[in-house]
Amino acid sequence: MLNQFCTKLFTGFIYFFILNSAVCVAQQAGKTDAIYSGVPWYDQNGNVVSAHGANIIRDNGKYYLFGEAHSDTSNAFAGFNCYSSTDLYNWKFESIALPLQPAGKLGPNRVGERVKVMKNPTSGEYFMYMHADTLGYKDQFVGYAISKNITGPYQFKGPILFNGKPIKKWDMGTFQDQDGKGYILTHGGVIHQLADDYQSIVAETNKQLTSGFESPTLFRKGNIYYFIGSNLTSWEKNDNYYYTASSLSGPWTAQGLFAPKGSLTWNSQTTFVLPVEGTKDTTFIFMGDRWSYPRQLSAATYVWQPLNILGTAISIPEYMQAWQVNTSTGEKTQFKGNFKVIENSNKSIHYKGKWLHVSDTTSISRATDKNDSFSYTFRGKQIGLYTLALPDNGYAKIVLQNKKGKLINQNLVDLYSKTPKIGLVYLSPILPHNDYTLRVFVAGERPNWSDKRKSNYGSTANTITIDKLIVRK
């Protein structure tokens, strides 16, 4: 009797836990075989890869990704993470390269963003640059930190100085030219040249180009420099644009958008462009952030797309949901995978609660009440969820269990988009071929926020939608 009671209590607890527990529990190790945009990525410990506002450098045959360590509850600086990879698909968590400082400008209740790392070609030391600020974005400057090892720990030095003064700008980036000279880029398009030791600024190479132009991102192909930036819309995505020049000091030519107008840069904001140079080709990877406020840890994802480059014209004409890049040859290919499609009307999908099955130009199922859910049991080694992201969509909670009920993977995914968009929002790691059940719940919350000017952004409801599922055999 007591046993039965305990079992019931335990089952009840597990159910309660699934519905209400914090997301992002450590789970099945991540394993994947392509670059998938817009879905959570998992590291070797099964934790979500948290590396936004990032850059990548190649060192001793490995790629190192540095980015903002986020939490789901606060925008306060939580450190800068470092991950490594050999294939650019699977990321190993290495360290919190620069942890939260006990006090000071990157101490508690401060902001730290847009971390970038470059190796000084003379000293061999690694230099990390970042935007440091107050939580209300009122005390911004470009700071720097140094380490002898790429993975850290980096020693925070405070603001980098130009003529003895800090650079009081918020969004920043870096660029290392072929001659090893380093540059700090700030919003508006200003380019500052670093001293040879990378520890101060010696010149303003380029003056402000325009207003806005946040998340400045610069890269070079041949003798052309490409300078990408975003409009100023807080965490909301917008149509990013670019300039080109044959010298860093300009003159810069405005070239307009590089992704289709209204696609909001395929729902992302630029942060870095990585050239993957191989024996046959060089693929330039556009790295963008798909922010998700306030669930920046669980639900913010990455949009990494190959850039087409023809002279001064760059473009991402289509959203490549999955693609591969060969890090030896530098070549890229679209990735199809052996996926079976399960439409939302499939009788094996069990809907619970108030679901509406809408068929307009696209057929979707949608629900809004907290904990309304659907489940799907399948045999295979990977499952993915496509949704129609909409302006009134919220977060969906995903729970994947094996046939014994063991939790395999759990996360919160963001189904909001300012403009309607069909896309993959969740993809499990590649698992042993077996029987699994996927459950998707209305989380009952949505991304929305206001910025320092008190403008409101984000979703208007908690709706979730399903377009289809995909299962890998």
Smallest distance from ligand DGJ to CB 114, Å: 6
Write down the least CB distance from residue 187 to ligand DGJ, Å: 8
* Least distance from ligand DGJ to the Cβ atom of residue 170, Å: 6
Which stretches of the chain bind ligand DGJ, using CB under 6 A? 53, 113-114, 171, 214-215, 234-235, 269, 451
239 versus 451: smaller Cβ distance to ligand DGJ:
451
CB under 8 Å, gap of 24 or more: what pairs does 331-340 form? 331/278, 331/280, 331/281, 331/283, 332/281, 332/283, 332/306, 335/33, 335/34, 337/33, 337/34, 337/472, 338/472, 338/473, 339/382, 339/384, 339/470, 339/471, 339/472, 340/380, 340/470, 340/471, 340/472, 340/473
68-101 per-residue burial string, b: 16 or more CB within 10 A, e: under 16: bbbebeebebbbbbbbbbeebbbbbbbbbbbbbb
Rounded Cα distance between 25 and 14, Å, is: 14
**Closest distance of CB 215 from ligand DGJ, Å:** 5
Give alpha helix (H) positions in 364-466: none
Nearer CB in complex with ligand DGJ: 95/296:
296
Q: Please identify, using beta-carbon distances, which residue of 215 and 321 lies nearer to ligand DGJ.
A: 215
> 114 or 332: whose CB is closer to ligand DGJ?
114
| Beta bridge partners of residue 385, listed in sequence order | 426, 469
Q: Give the DSSP letter string of 78-135.
A: --EEEEEESSSSS-EEEEEEEPPPSSSTTSTTEEEEEEEEEE-TTT--EEEEEEEEET
- Residue 214 structure tokens: 């946040």
Q: At closest approach, how far in Å is the CB of 229 from ligand DGJ?
A: 9
User: Is the CB of 69 or the CB of 309 nearer to ligand DGJ?
Assistant: 69
Shortest separation between residue 217's beta carbon and ligand DGJ, angstroms = 11
Looking at beta carbons, which residue is closest to ligand DGJ?
234
Nearer to ligand DGJ, 90 or 270 (CB): 270
Shortest Cβ 186–ligand DGJ spacing (Å): 12
**Pick from 91, 89, 90, 87: nearest CA to 326:** 87
Whose Cβ is closer to ligand DGJ: residue 27's or residue 234's?
A: 234
